[in-house]
């Protein structure tokens, strides 16, 4: 199992601990608050992922170890929590694995069924951008 798949399993296990929507959202909001600081100079139009109701900024760099490191942020806290979840899974992985990753864990954690259409469109756009970076920085 790839690192990414393993982390997905982790996240799924974690979410299973929260039976109610409130607990799930509480956790996501917490994740949002913990997300590491986003470099101010990168908070610009070209880093915005379109397709989300709230704004999402995403940047990526290939570090010396050959792995890809993402920075992301959002002006909405729930989105920020989702972003944080994504980064936990994808951060510091090789581009090839990012591109190859299977994303159906989102359904599995029973979050997506609670998510609005706009939200899941936004997530899809985010994943697409993450994979694009993965591909470009391979």
Is 45 a binder of other proteins (CB under 8 A)?
Answer: no
CA-nearest of 76, 44, 68, 41 to 57 is: 44
Quick one: which of 1, 17, 22, 46 contacts other proteins (CB under 8 A)? 22
CA distance 3 to 56: 25
Q: How far are the Cα atoms of 35, 70, 96 from residue 67, in angstroms, in the given order?
A: 19, 10, 10
CA 30, 113, 19, 109 torsion-angle sign? negative
75 binds other proteins (CB under 8 A): yes
Among 12, 25, 51, 110, binds other proteins (CB under 8 A): 25
Q: Is 36 an interacting residue with respect to other proteins (CB under 8 A)?
A: no
Task: State yes or no: residue 21 binds other proteins (CB under 8 A).
Answer: yes
Token pair, residue 41, equals: 């100079």
Q: Do the beta carbons of residue 126 and residue 57 sit within 8 Å?
A: no
Q: How far is the CB of 121 from other proteins (least distance, A)?
A: 9
Tell the smallest beta-carbon distance from residue 49 to other proteins (Å). 14
Would you tell me which residues interact with other proteins (CB under 8 A)? Answer: 21-22, 25-26, 29-30, 33, 53-55, 75-79, 114, 116-119
Which residues are the active-site residues? 52
């Amino acid at each position: 199992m790839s690192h990414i798949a393993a982390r997905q399993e982790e996240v799924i296990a974690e979410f299973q601990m929260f039976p109610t929507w409130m607990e799930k959202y509480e956790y996501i909001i917490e994740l949002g608050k913990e997300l590491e600081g986003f470099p101010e100079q990168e908070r610009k139009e070209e880093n915005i992922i379109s397709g989300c109701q709230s704004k999402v900024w995403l940047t990526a760099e290939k570090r010396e170890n050959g792995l890809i490191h993402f920075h992301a942020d959002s002006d909405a806290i729930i989105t920020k929590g989702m972003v944080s979840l994504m980064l936990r899974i994808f951060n510091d992985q090789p581009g090839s694995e990012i591109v190859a990753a299977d994303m159906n864990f989102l359904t599995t954690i029973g979050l997506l069924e609670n998510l609005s259409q706009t939200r899941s469109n936004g997530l899809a756009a985010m994943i697409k951008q993450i994979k694009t970076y993965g591909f470009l920085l391979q």
